[in-house]
Structures are given as structure tokens and as C-alpha cells.
Amino acid sequence: MDTINEKISAIINHFHLNNYAFSKRIGVTGTTIDSIVNGRVQSDGSRKKTKPGYDVLLAIIDEFDINPDYLFGKSSIMLKEDTSNIQTYSGVPQVISVNDDNEENVVYVPIKARAGYLDGYGDTEYIETLPSFHMPHLNNGTFRCFEVQGNSMVRTFFDGDLVFGKYVENLNDVKDGRVYVIVSKNDGIVLKRVINRIEERSKLILKSDNKDGNYPTYTIGVEDIMEIWYVTMFASKQMPEPVDIYDRLHELESQLLELRESVNTNTLKN
């Protein structure tokens, strides 16, 4: 993460100023800005950067209309005017589906509907075109069913599996290490294990369970998140092996161990 000194240097560069011109704009000496950006020369020849004081920071914010959260590392958005263009996360789903008894349905999003969902997730007419069904034990929230695409979560979920997600009302409620469906502007619909860094960096860290090296960990900013669903249940087409196969394997392992011990014992006697 950039230091506050580096943030100030970035602001100077953004407005195409030098340190002297910047210092005049905020009413301080050029030496003050030089010591913040470049550092003061020490007796051993090294440079030590000066931490900007409150008055300097306030002057920068006021003169250049800087987003305070940018200076203090809570946002990557430098200018206040740009923060107003960021979509804020909605605490409720934009569209839900209900049955004739006014009970909320689970809307199913198959792979072939993914592209349309990105544009239509907030469109009532579009949501009505998707299959929906009621599941009595999925209550106390809004649920979506997504078809898994790809192999990034292999070991846990497989291509074609169905995951049932509960809408997350507050991004701060995202739990580290849990699996979520994230709907975003840039990445579309992804299924990932999540580390929450919303409070510190306004980001989520997305990890894959498949460790073959083809699915690197990456981050996503709050401004890019359209929806997020906590996976509470799944249905898989991958049928587990019959239990008796594992029992036989365990029995064979035990027999091999006993045989090895017996051979070792006989060898020692001879």
C-alpha cells in the first residue's frame, strides 16, 4: 500500500505540477513539500521523509478537491468528484420472484443465461424469464441458484454443479474463507472463496480451490461488485464412490501393514 507521502507525490503528478508550484497552491514553502516527497538529507547521506501535518493535508484536500479516504489508504479514488460516480452496493436484491402464495422463489441462473443476467439482474421482466421454484427450507432471505461453470473450484465444486446462494445485505458481513457467488461489472459471475478486506482496502480477495496453478488469486473493488451471494447449499452431478470401496481400501492397507510388520519381524529373528 502506498504511503501518504507517495499519495501526495501522485497528486502532484496528476495535476502536472512540480513541488514548488504545488507548495504555492496550498500555501506552504517548497522546502516543506520537498521534505515530504523526497525527504530530508541525513548525516549518513540517506533521506528521511517528513510526515505531512494536519494543516498541510487539509490544504491539499480543499485546494485540489481530494477524496480524504484516498490520502489515508481507504480508497483508490483520488478525486471527490469521481467517488460520486461509483455504484454503491445495494442492501437488498433489486428484483425478487414470488409464487402464488406470495412466498419467495429461488431464481435459477443457468450457464447460458449468465451474459444476460449481468445486464438484467435488476430488470423485473428479465428475471421473470428465468426459471424459478420454491424451496420451503430456504427461507429468511433471498436465494439464487447458479450453475457452476469451469474448473476453478474443483475439489469442492465441479462444472455443472448447482450452488444456492443467499443474498448478502452488507459487504462487511462477508466471512473469510467462505464461498460466495460474486456478480461484478468486469468479471461477470464467479464462484470463489473470499477473504474480506472491505474495511481496510475496500476490496475482496478472491481465491480458487483448484490448486493446479491456472487460477491465480486476485482482488475486486467494492465499486465493481453488483451482487454477492453466500453459498449455503449445493447439488452435484458428481456421485460419490460407494462406501464399500473405501472400506475395502482401508482393509487392504491394514493387511499390507500387517504383512510388512510380519516380514520385518521374521527378518530380525533370522
* pLDDT band for position 248 (cuts 50, 70, 90): low
One domain, residues 120 and 165? yes
Measure the CA dihedral 171/175/181/187, to 10°.
70
What local confidence, expressed as pLDDT, does residue 70 receive?
A: 87
Domain boundary among 20, 52, 83: 83
Q: Is residue 143 part of a domain?
A: yes
Are 133 and 37 members of one domain? no
* Number of domains comprising the chain: 3
State whether 14 and 134 are in the same domain.
Answer: no
Q: Which domain holds residue 73?
A: 4-83
The 10s digit of each residue's pLDDT in 107-159 is: 999 999 998 998 888 888 899 999 999 988 888 889 999 999 999 999 899 99
The reply to whether 98 falls in a domain is: no
* Helical spans, DSSP H, in 72-181: 80-83, 114-120, 124-129
Same domain, 267 and 211: no
- Residue 262's pLDDT is 74
Mean pLDDT check: name the lowest of 1-10, 193-202, 256-265.
Answer: 256-265
**Percent of residues, the chain, with pLDDT higher than 90:** 56
> Are residue 64 and residue 42 in the same domain, yes or no?
yes
**The pLDDT of residue 230:** 97
According to the model, what pLDDT value does residue 234 have? 95
In this predicted structure, the answer to whether residue 56 has a pLDDT above a threshold of 90 is yes
pLDDT higher than threshold 80 for residue 242 = no
> CA–CA separation, 178 vs 200, rounded Å?
19
Strand spans (E) along 63-171:
106-109, 132-133, 143-147, 162-167
Residue 77 located in a structural domain: yes
Could you give the percent of the chain with pLDDT greater than 70? 91
Is residue 69 pLDDT above 60, yes or no?
Answer: yes
Domain assignment present for residue 94? The answer is no
CATH number assigned to the domain comprising residue 56: 1.10.260.40
